[in-house]
Amino acid sequence: MEEKNKSIFSEIISYVFIILLVIVIRVFIFDPVRVDGPSMNVTLEDGQVLILNKIIYRKEDIKRYDIVVVKRDNGEKIVKRVIGLPNETIEIKDNKVYANGKLLDSSFTSSITEDFNLSEVGFEKVPGDSYFVLGDNREVSLDSRVLGPIKKEKILGKANFRIWPLNKIGSVK
């Protein structure tokens, strides 16, 4: 009888360990995040699920064109692309985006972008602790053109691996 109790106890311990491991991974390392709405079309579509890497920016800097998950003040998570880095001027003119006067890659953009200047949201430059983010489908995207520059602390991590739908599983650029 004692051996049976030890066996049950060790089995329970192994399940508790697995559950704790999953919780630690989800809280501190990786988390699934769902794309909500058409703001990242055609790169990402509504309902797709990505893996959010929460630790990458502890080791690396946030880079231009990274796809990130931003936590808004209301708790909502939005998926956007980093366009402007700290201390840069950002301008959109004639459907082209410029950082410090230099034309940026727009090959992933799926729509027309109205002219924009950072002064429209009250800034001359992206603040030193912030980033300028845009959706790839800029006609319908709620992004830094409305929200203003996003503080680094609001960026939860990088989302560059799609896990759903299964026929589109893989890295995202």
Domain ranges (residues) in the chain:
32-171
158 an active-site residue? no
Catalytic member of 7, 10, 39, 54: 39
Q: What percent of the chain has pLDDT over 70?
A: 93
Note the CATH architecture for domain 32-171: Ribbon (2.10)
pLDDT band per the 50, 70, 90 thresholds, residue 23: confident
DSSP annotation of 137: S
- Look at strands 49-53 and 30-34 and give their pairing: antiparallel
- The CA distance from 58 to 63, in Å, is 13
The amino acid present at 43, given as its one-letter code, is T
- The CA distance from 119 to 169, in Å, is 39
- Residues listed for the chain: 173
Number of neighbouring beta carbons within 10 Å of residue 61: 10
- The CA distance from 162 to 165, in Å, is 8
Instruction: Give long-range contacts, CB 8 A cutoff, 24+ apart: 1-5.
Output: none
- The CA distance from 25 to 144, in Å, is 30
Q: Residue 127 has what pLDDT?
A: 97
168 closest CA partner among 41, 30, 49, 35 = 49
pLDDT, tens only, 104-162: 998 888 788 899 999 999 999 999 999 999 999 999 999 999 999 999 999 999 998 99
- The CA distance from 173 to 171, in Å, is 7
4 an active-site residue? no
Catalytic member of 10, 63, 80, 93: 80
